[in-house]
């Protein structure tokens, strides 16, 4: 053997990790040091290609990496220590799994010889994270590390994207071995996600679309994950066919909210026209969505008269909740391209004028109606004002989870993909603030706003400190109704208005809190002051906590009550006490 000391590919495990990050084009990572990752932190200290953002809690690192990933289309990277560092990552990993976000988490582990000994800060990280990652690895030999890291990036970003975790014992970080750059053979031979759709199925789909009288396109986060080409093709398909389109919470922005065929979001808090169109359609084209229970309502009454086409890259999404007629497995962008090509060659633009007339009648019900007030700020009005004030600006929105999230989805119009970061599947309160940190790191000059609730935002408030440290001018727009609003709404509607533990009894003074962190606090009570305060928030080039005091007991409508179908929505003007009681008649809640 020749002298290995001059071989540039000979390096420690810790150096390999940093090298692999560079080789995969990673410029920013989010993490928190600890005993089991010190060798990696030592390597990070001695280079300048990868910027490390120090968070205040590992959950913050995970959500920041998610925000980074969703706003860029690139994988987000988090680095955490063993034991509590890893267990604190469980929530973001699960969140990323549910929402198909590419995330690479590197965790330190106690030295190999101590694994299984209940050593200090030891936990079974791969065991704990197995069900909340797309795949995970424990690397016991430094010579496997390069291959595993490259495979991890590939698995996270290909097929249906998702989170992965690589657990690296401390002795492996110290050990010297051979690194190699990414190569094709780094990937499991058993992992080959299907990209191209089946031609026969595509023809069947086009035949259905071409003959549709009452069609609808229902798109989801898969279109955004697929990349800019899929978004372009989706818009083209809507244009070529003239069909109405609705999106899931995850899919907002793929079709512009100002587009003429846009119906608004569908589902539990979707618009009346979107849900009625879904219910009464004769052909449904589902692109990159998964018939989630927030979308379908009562499954046995879901769009009963329609033929359903389902495009998804994950075969396990097909027929999971709803039986479909034409499943097409593959990448949305690829398949939309094929559908368009066949459609343009063989089909005429279907006549859907009558269908649009019907939709216009549903739209006329104005299901997002709310009564404005001169005395108190309505949360819907606050979001609309925020939207108006940011129109034309380079804006990214994140949210927490609850009423404010649904109002943001209903009232903030998204024109482009990757602009809307929200925890859809897992519904993680505390997602939005750290996600905003991640988005701002990726887009330093853009306007990044976390539309938050007073309860959610306190779950990860400590990341304000991160924002201040790195001069990330994120804006935390808190719709402060002094309640866990969605919990309170459900308690009112389903549990006899017994508001068990949903009142925020001891809220902090958000203005003082912002100042304590070194940020800026703004508070507004009066509708007349709202626009000015929003302008002030936008013009401040520092992190802002915006305490928007809103009507405390406002409910989020329209709404599909549980166990009901799309055509049994409760609209705001009907939501008087009697109608509400009737819609929610039944026994006590089980879940």
Which DSSP helix (H) or strand (E) runs through 515? Answer: helix 510-517
Q: Which is nearer to another protein, 11 or 318 (CB)?
A: 318
- The token pair at 365 is 């019900």
How far is 46 from 14, CA to CA, in rounded Å?
A: 12
3-state helix, strand, coil in the chain (%, to 5): 45, 15, 40
Token pair listed for 499: 């508001």
Residues linked to residue 283 through DSSP beta bridges, in sequence order = 215, 307
308 beta partners = 284
Among residues 101, 149, 155, 283, the one that binds another protein under rule CB under 8 A: 155
How far apart, in Å, are the Cα atoms of 260 and each of 238, 256, 263, 356?
Answer: 10, 9, 9, 11
- As measured in angstroms, the least distance from the Cβ of 587 to another protein is 5
- 128 or 257: whose CB is closer to another protein? 128
Nearest Cα to 273, choosing from 299, 246, 291, 252?
246
Q: In the window 157-186, what residues touch another protein (CB under 8 A)?
A: 160
Contact between 55 and 61 (Cβ < 8 Å): yes
293 binds another protein (CB under 8 A): yes
Give me Rg for the CA atoms of the chain. 25
525 binds another protein (CB under 8 A): no
Binding of residue 6 to another protein (CB under 8 A) = no
Dist. CA 249–CA 310, nearest whole Å: 18
Return the number of other C-beta atoms located less than 10 Å from residue 282's C-beta: 16
- Residue 584 within binding range of another protein, rule CB under 8 A: yes
378 phi, psi to nearest 5 deg: -85, 135
According to the binding rule CB under 8 A, does residue 500 interact with another protein?
Answer: no
Of residues 203 and 495, the one with the C-beta less far from another protein: 495
Please tell me whether residue 204 binds another protein under the rule CB under 8 A.
no
> What is the bridge-based pairing of β-strands 262-265 and 420-421?
unpaired
**Is there binding between residue 563 and another protein (CB under 8 A)?**
yes
Give the CA count within 13 Å in the CB-facing half-sphere of 404. 37
Would you count residue 130 as binding another protein (CB under 8 A)?
Answer: yes
- Which residues does residue 62 pair with via DSSP β-bridges, in sequence order? none
CB of 86 to another protein, least distance (A): 16
- Nearer to another protein by Cβ, of 94 and 440: the residue is 94
Binds another protein by CB under 8 A, chosen from 116, 127, 181, 304: 127
Shortest distance, position 292 Cβ to another protein, whole Å? 12
Check binding of 291 to another protein (CB under 8 A): no
Among 46, 185, 190, 576, binds another protein (CB under 8 A): 190
Could you tell me the two tokens for 453?
A: 């609730």
Binds another protein by CB under 8 A, chosen from 143, 176, 366, 562: 562
Smallest distance, Å, CB 188 to another protein? 5
Applying CB under 8 A, among 3, 118, 300, 578 the residue interacting with another protein is 300
**Residues assigned a catalytic role:** 58, 120-121, 170, 486
Q: How far is the CB of 554 from another protein (least distance, A)?
A: 19
Does position 470 bind another protein by CB under 8 A? no
> How many helices, marked H, and strands, marked E, lie in the chain?
23, 20
Q: Select the residue interacting with another protein from 203, 298, 525, 542 (CB under 8 A).
A: 298
> How many degrees, rounded to 5, is the angle at CA 346 between CA 343 and CA 350?
65
Candidates 171, 282, 314, 568: give the one binding another protein (CB under 8 A). Answer: 314
Residues that bind another protein (CB under 8 A): 126-127, 130-131, 134-136, 138, 155, 160, 188-191, 293, 296-300, 314-316, 318-320, 323, 490, 493-495, 562-563, 584-591
């Amino acid at each position: 053997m020749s002298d290995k000391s001059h071989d540039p590919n000979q390096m420690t495990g810790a150096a390999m990790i940093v090298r692999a990050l560079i080789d995969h084009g990673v410029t920013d990572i989010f993490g928190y040091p600890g005993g089991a990752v010190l060798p990696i932190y030592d390597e990070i200290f001695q280079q300048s290609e990868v910027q490390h953002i120090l968070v205040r809690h590992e959950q913050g690192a995970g959500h920041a990496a998610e925000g980074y990933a969703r706003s860029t289309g690139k994988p987000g990277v988090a680095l955490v220590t063993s034991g509590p560092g890893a267990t604190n990552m469980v929530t973001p990993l699960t969140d990323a799994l549910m929402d198909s976000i590419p995330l690479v988490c590197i965790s330190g582990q106690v030295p190999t010889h101590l694994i299984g000994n209940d050593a200090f800060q030891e936990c079974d990280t791969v065991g704990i994270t197995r069900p909340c990652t797309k795949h995970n690895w424990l690397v016991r030999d430094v010579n496997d590390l390069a291959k595993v890291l490259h495979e991890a990036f590939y698995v996270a970003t290909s097929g249906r994207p998702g989170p992965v975790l690589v657990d690296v014992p401390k002795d492996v970080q110290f050990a010297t071995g051979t690194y190699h750059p990414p190569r094709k053979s780094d990937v499991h031979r058993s992992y080959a996600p299907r990209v191209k759709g089946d031609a026969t199925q595509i023809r069947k789909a086009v035949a259905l679309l071409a003959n549709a009288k009452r069609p609808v396109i229902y798109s989801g986060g898969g279109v955004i994950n697929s990349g800019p080409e899929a978004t372009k093709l989706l818009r083209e398909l809507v244009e070529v066919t003239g069909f109405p389109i609705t999106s899931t919470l995850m899919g907002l922005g793929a079709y512009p909210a100002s587009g003429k065929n846009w119906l608004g979001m569908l589902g539990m808090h979707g618009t009346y026209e979107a849900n009625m169109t879904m219910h009464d359609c004769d052909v449904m084209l589902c692109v990159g969505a998964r018939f989630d229970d927030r979308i379908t309502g009562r499954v046995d009454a879901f769009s009963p008269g329609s033929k359903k086409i389902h495009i998804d890259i994950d075969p396990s999404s097909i027929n999971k909740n709803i039986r479909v007629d034409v499943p097409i497995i593959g990448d949305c962008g690829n398949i939309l391209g094929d559908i368009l090509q066949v459609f343009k060659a063989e089909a005429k633009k279907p006549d859907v004028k009558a269908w649009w007339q019907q939709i216009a009648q549903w739209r006329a019900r104005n299901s997002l109606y709310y009564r404005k007030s001169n005395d108190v700020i309505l949360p819907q009005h606050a979001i609309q004002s925020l939207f108006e004030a940011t129109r034309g600006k380079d804006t990214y929105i994140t949210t927490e989870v609850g009423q404010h999230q649904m109002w943001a989805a209903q009232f903030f119009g998204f024109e482009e993909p990757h602009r809307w970061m929200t925890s859809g599947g897992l519904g993680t309160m505390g997602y939005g603030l750290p996600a905003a940190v991640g988005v701002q790191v990726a887009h330093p000059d853009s306007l990044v706003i976390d539309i938050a609730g007073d309860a959610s935002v306190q779950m990860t408030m400590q990341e304000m400190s991160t924002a201040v440290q790195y001069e990330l001018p994120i804006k935390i727009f808190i719709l402060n109704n002094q309640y866990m609003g969605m919990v309170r709404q459900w308690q009112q509607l389903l549990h006899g208005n017994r508001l068990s533990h949903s009142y925020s009894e001891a809220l902090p003074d958000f203005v003082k809190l912002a100042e304590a962190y070194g940020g800026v606090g703004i508070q507004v009570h009066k509708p007349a002051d709202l626009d000015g305060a929003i302008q002030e928030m936008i013009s401040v080039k520092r992190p802002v906590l915006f305490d928007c005091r809103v009507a405390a007991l406002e409910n989020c409508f329209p709404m599909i009550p549980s166990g009901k179908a799309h055509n049994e929505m409760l609209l705001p003007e009907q939501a008087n006490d009697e109608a509400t009681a009737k819609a929610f008649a039944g026994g006590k809640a089980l879940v």
